[in-house]
Amino acid sequence: MSDELQPQSGAMVPVAADLGANNSVVVSPVSTTVLTAQAPASLGGNPLPVPTPSPLPVIAAVVPPVSFPVPSPSIVSSKTSAVPQFTAENPPKDSSGKPDYPKLSPAEKKKILEAEKIFQQGLSTIRDLIAPSSMEVSFNHILIDGMFAQSFFVYTYPRYIETNWLSPIVNFDVTLDMSQFIYPIASDKIMKTLKSQVARFQSSIRMSQEKGQVRDPALETALEDAESLRTDLQRGQEKFFQFALYFTIYHADLKKMEKVTKQLESLLGGKLVLTRRADLRMEHAFNSTLPIASDELEVYHNMNTSPLSSTFPFVSADLTSNDGILYGLNRHNDSLIIFDRFSLENANSVVFAKSGAGKSYAVKLEILRILMMGADVIVIDPENEYESLAQTVGGTYLKVSLNSDRRINPFDLPKPLEGDDLKPGDLLRSAIIDLTGLLKLMLGTISAAEEALVDKALIDTYATKGITMDTPDPSAFEPPTMDDLYNVISSMEGTSEIANRIQKYTTGTFAGIFNQHTNVTVDNGLIVFSIRDLEDSLRPIAMYIILNYIWNRVRSTLKRRVLVIDEAWTMMQHDDSAKFLFGLVKRARKYYLGVTTITQDVEDFIKSPYGKPIVSNSSMQLLLKQSPSVIEGLQKVFNLTEGEKYMLLNSGVGQGLFFAGLKHVAIQIIASYGEDKIVTTNPEQILNQQSQDRANFGAGQPAAVS
């Protein structure tokens, strides 16, 4: 808009709004937009408002000059040198005192509409943004941008149907669109139809009776239903509708989509809800499941109010049960996620998250709540994160290091579990297999010939203590130690190299930690093994020995237990330790044990040959915030949708996905104030708590446990 308008004597002053290079103006439908022109300085330099009445449709148009007469300066009184200032509060008025806004002629209106049409042709619409680049329609599926889609419809329902029967379909783990169309039918029309049906049914029954035919239960049931429905409609207790239900399944692989479709049809068929694929009508069926309220299939089924109410689709997955512990809040509906991991096929779980996402916080919360339910918990702690928790609940905290006096003998043998059908030699044979894996981890690569020598040496080592394959209960004997193995191997021919490598753990640098008798117990409710002070090269070995010791105790006494292995990727770096961990996870269910595997190095864990099998044998999974570098691999392993993938990338601390069996929900980890003080790993919170404890101690008050 020009800075100043130049009126001439007796001329018209143009009023316009120039809002860009295209001279376009957007008029809001919910407010009054005032278009102004700047009056010349000689007239006061004030804006001349032209209010646009509201409401109006939203338009973007070229506004032609709209003018109204302004008195010529020559006829203005010498006492009044300025034109009256028109504002929204003081618009120009006609002779009757009513607002006198400029009127558009039909030609001007036509010009504005033509300009609007031209302008709209150059704009991107919502259809342009969401439309696929290509679409190929076949007789039984549609290919849309590399994604296959297959639609089907429901054509019949059972006589009785349970409430919320659609919930398993809504929670089905597949990308799915569902559309429902409900058409109300006037009661007077359906009453006429029901009246004729009742008469027809009664006539058929009477004719059958007159002919002496056997009663037809189906006909009598139909008559009973028709009369009942007619009564309910007459009383206003029910309404009548026509109902259509359509589904569209999406998958990147056509064969897998066929498999998923059969699973869904089977799931519906189990409820006697029968479906058909919309062959030769795929495009119409696909359009019917788009959010455009267009029913192109028109496959209806008559329903009254009661069964129609059972098709309510707005349900969300939930994991709320009467038993178990609180894991968090369902982010979709704020319901509580209460679950008992021991109610699943197995009680194992995996926790994957990047550093700082809250995985240790979540696991410590679970431990605290599991202890309240009477279960025992054993933790392998690589970073001393569980020490305060152990102190708070009165647990046992064991530091395993070269300087510690805590020792575990890897040659210990378990006590046979009562009721186990074990033959003499089974426990010894199992122990030798585990020890062979441990020695491979300790000694590095050994050849097949050396492995055979090690196997013989282990058998002879146990024999020195009176333990043989014929011993019924080898746990009744004192087990050998690493020193005994070294002595046996040193006396054998061709084993000098192996003996030299073992010597490092008997009389060398690492002497004392793995070659003494066990002096720890796991009889407390919470046992924490800390390996933070161990050298990096000893950590995998220590974790192997600790896990083997725990496994022996678990097999000796049947009790509900949870074993937590933090930073499990350490064991996945070596095939022998990874194999041992997988075997532990696979056999844990038999001994009422749940194994929780935690790692932040998701990529290394999954790439291991035993990574995916461990995940597959864990019925519970917790995925918290992930980094972009690993999200693609996680998406393949857990079959995540694009929405779930991006949710994990953008989740906050303590937010993620919680899987339990076939169900999974978005979770928010929550804790009470007291729990938070116990389990927090936030350095700032810990420092503040320590400062508060010191202040309380100085004032003579008891220090808070944190």
Q: How many domains does the chain have?
A: 4
pLDDT in tens, 396-421: 999 988 888 888 999 998 887 776 77
Residue 698 belongs to a domain = no
Same domain, 148 and 291: yes
Same domain, 91 and 188: no
Decide: helix, strand or coil at residue 403.
Answer: coil
Same domain, 154 and 299: yes
Residue 544 belongs to a domain = yes
Block means of pLDDT (10 residues each) for the chain, 706 residues, are: 41 39 39 39 43 41 44 43 59 72 80 82 77 89 93 91 84 87 87 83 83 79 80 83 94 91 91 93 94 92 88 73 88 87 92 91 94 92 90 91 87 80 82 91 88 93 92 87 93 89 89 86 88 87 90 87 91 86 92 93 85 92 92 88 89 92 89 90 78 70 42
N-term to C-term CA, the chain: 68
| pLDDT in the model for residue 132 | 86
Domain boundary among 309, 339, 373: 309
Domain holding 489, by residue range, is 409-517
| pLDDT in the model for residue 697 | 65
Domain boundary among 309, 337, 364: 309
Nearest to 349 by CA among 595, 701, 154, 635: 595
Residue 550 belongs to a domain = yes
Residue 625 belongs to a domain = yes
Same domain, 363 and 471: no
Same domain, 20 and 113: yes
Same domain, 253 and 111: no
Same domain, 484 and 459: yes
Residue 701 belongs to a domain = no
Taking the C-alpha atoms of residue 622 and residue 302, their distance in angstroms, rounded to an integer, is: 44
Residue 104 belongs to a domain = yes
Contacts (Cβ under 8 Å, ≥6 apart) of 224: none
Contacts (Cβ under 8 Å, ≥6 apart) of 339: 319, 321, 324, 325, 327, 620, 660
Q: Which helix (H) or strand (E) holds 38?
A: strand 34-38
Say which DSSP state 343 is in.
G
Bridge-based pairing of strands 526-530 and 376-381 is parallel
Same domain, 365 and 415: no
Structure tokens at 194: 């029901």
Same domain, 242 and 96: no
Residue 682 belongs to a domain = no
| pLDDT in the model for residue 414 | 84
**Are the C-beta atoms of residues 55 and 32 closer than 8 Å to each other?**
no
| pLDDT in the model for residue 472 | 82
Structure tokens at 653: 């601390």
pTM (two decimals): 0.62
Chain-centre distance for alpha carbon 62? 50
SS3 content of the chain, % helix, strand, coil (to 5): 40, 20, 40
Domain boundary among 256, 287, 309: 309
| pLDDT in the model for residue 85 | 61
Q: What is the CATH number of the domain that holds 456?
A: 1.10.8.730
Strand positions, DSSP E, 288-405 = 301-304, 325-330, 336-339, 349-352, 376-381, 396-399
Taking the C-alpha atoms of residue 681 and residue 675, their distance in angstroms, rounded to an integer, is: 12
Same domain, 179 and 299: yes
| pLDDT in the model for residue 362 | 94
Same domain, 162 and 300: yes
Q: What is the CATH number of the domain that holds 626?
A: 3.40.50.300
Taking the C-alpha atoms of residue 205 and residue 24, their distance in angstroms, rounded to an integer, is: 76
Taking the C-alpha atoms of residue 449 and residue 577, their distance in angstroms, rounded to an integer, is: 21
Residue 389 belongs to a domain = yes
Q: Which helix (H) or strand (E) holds 15?
A: strand 12-15
Same domain, 505 and 544: no
Nearest to 358 by CA among 658, 53, 688, 16: 658
